[in-house]
Chains A and B, each alone.
Chain A
Amino acid sequence: DIQMTQSPSSVSASVGDRVTITCRASQGVSGWLAWYQEKPGKAPKLLIYDTSNLQSGVPSRFSGRSSGTDFTLTISSLQPEDSATYYCQQGNSFPLSFGGGTKVEIK
């Protein structure tokens, strides 16, 4: 099974800051990587799929990229509504698996 490890587990930043979250896969996932945003009491929301493709309706301040088995989600200019927990997910092989989450808080 592929293990997904996210860092940091939490980050606190100010409105307008650039925030980067990292996700590392225990083995190659061939670009099959997605990012989700989860707010308390709500279902997760797909932000990015296939490493860097923005889901329809998602603001362009969200972006994704990869370097080998490391993947990053970047919020270019943090907004108050971005306060949430973010998860990465690999879609390369079953069982599909998620990272442990990164909680983003606004200072």
Chain B
Amino acid sequence: DQQVKQNSPSLSVQEGRISILNCDYTNSMFDYFLWYKKYPAEGPTFLISISSIKDKNEDGRFTVFLNKSAKHLSLHIVPSQPGDSAVYFCAASAYNQGGKLIFGQGTELSVKP
């Protein structure tokens, strides 16, 4: 059973526009959420995170929104740049799970010039 789901395998956006990547989860015990970015032939790198006590966290062009009632989070990238083209993974953790992260399937973002 997939506890963290990214239902869009791919997303294509024009440079300068907003990219919105979505993630849904089923486990109400999750209390911390992260987004990772992955380029080909590299390991994932941490991008931004949010605690369940917040509903928004912003870092430059990247903003993560959390809707706990809907068990949904989203990553907004504004403005999108060609260098943002990568696979984005959302991940979730629960305080009682010993540091483990549960990852979604990933969404491949393509930002076209």
Chain B binds chain A = no
List A residues at the B interface (Cβ < 8 Å). none
